[in-house]
Amino acid sequence: MDALEEQTQELEVLQSIYPDELEILSETHFTVRLNLDTNTDRKHALVLEVKYPAEYPEVVPVLDIEVGEDEEDEDDYYGSDDDDDIDSDEERNRQAVNLAESIDFEKKDLSTLLDKINEEAEMNLGMPSVFALTSQLKEEAEQLFQNKIDAAQRKYDRELVEREMEEQKKFNGTKVTRESWLEWRNKFREEMKVAEKDKALFDAMHNGKMSGREIFEKGLAGDEDETVDSVTEAVKETQI
């Protein structure tokens, strides 16, 4: 059997397997749409483009992969305008939180998948292999898609834990150490002018003007936040 005959027979087999998904562009050029099974409300598909070289199947076919366009009506997925009367903001928030619905195939994903099926094509030299390639592509794409969902979920969970830890810090407060307490004490004493008050009390007691009992009775030996003016006034009274 010559190469052209093998190509023709394979194309006929593919037409029977993919009656709605196969699009023939020429006798040696066609595409196959592969609808993927994913755990999402959105429908995902890939399109495998195949070109037969004259020597195929003795050489690998020329392959390419694209993301299939969504065949659903946009209103079916995003909701009609009438849904806005219900609670459009809530619906948008729900969709934003649903990680699986935010996943799409990127260029690097398509490149990875293309490398895999090209390797498979190399292993099938000498025999028609497009059906085997479509089967592998579907399986690999579904697994890759699930891996992307799992990775997005792990990232979301990690960020959620980090946010919760930050929120928890607000309730735990700052751990007090000897160094932090001394720093706070020195700053407090400076702001309250404690040193100046202590000096005024010392002068009042030791310059022979007031006894310790008199200072206590006048309230000069009170809290550290007592003002310097009251101390000064008490000292003046002892000098009259």
Please give the pLDDT value at position 49.
97
Tell how strand 62-67 and strand 29-35 pair up. unpaired
Instruction: For residue 57, say if its preceding peptide bond is cis, omega within 30 degrees of 0.
Output: yes
* 129 exposure class (CB count in 10 Å sphere: 0-12, 13-18, 19+): buried
> How many other CB atoms sit within 10 Å of the CB of residue 112?
15
Cite the DSSP H helix spans in 173-226: 178-191, 194-206, 212-217
Residues 218 and 237: their CA atoms lie apart, in Å, by 10
> How many other CB atoms sit within 10 Å of the CB of residue 33?
18
Please give the pLDDT value at position 231.
43
Element (H or E) spanning 73, and its range? Answer: none
Do 114 and 64 meet the contact criterion of CB atoms below 8 Å apart? yes
Please write the tens of the pLDDT for every residue from 172-209.
766 778 888 888 888 877 877 766 766 666 666 555 55
Element (H or E) spanning 162, and its range? Answer: helix 130-172
What amino acid occupies position 173?
G
- Please give the backbone phi and psi of residue 57, each rounded to the nearest 5 degrees, phi first: -95, 15
The domains located in the chain, with CATH, are 3-170 (3.10.110.10), 178-239 (no CATH)
Q: What is the pTM for the complete model shown? A: 0.61
Please give the pLDDT value at position 156.
87
Please give the pLDDT value at position 62.
97
Residues 156 and 42: their CA atoms lie apart, in Å, by 20
Please give the pLDDT value at position 43.
92
With a CB cutoff of 8 Å and minimum separation 6, the contacts of 235 are: 200, 203, 204, 209, 210
Beta bridge partners of 65: 48
Please give the pLDDT value at position 95.
45
Element (H or E) spanning 114, and its range? Answer: helix 107-123
The candidate with the shortest Cα–Cα distance to 200, out of 238, 147, 171, 172, is: 238
Please give the pLDDT value at position 40.
87
Below-70 pLDDT ranges, the chain: 71-97, 173-174, 194-195, 197-240
With a CB cutoff of 8 Å and minimum separation 6, the contacts of 83 are: 91
> How many other CB atoms sit within 10 Å of the CB of residue 72?
12
Euclidean distance between the first and the last CA atom of the chain, given in angstroms as a whole number: 131
Do 137 and 48 meet the contact criterion of CB atoms below 8 Å apart? yes
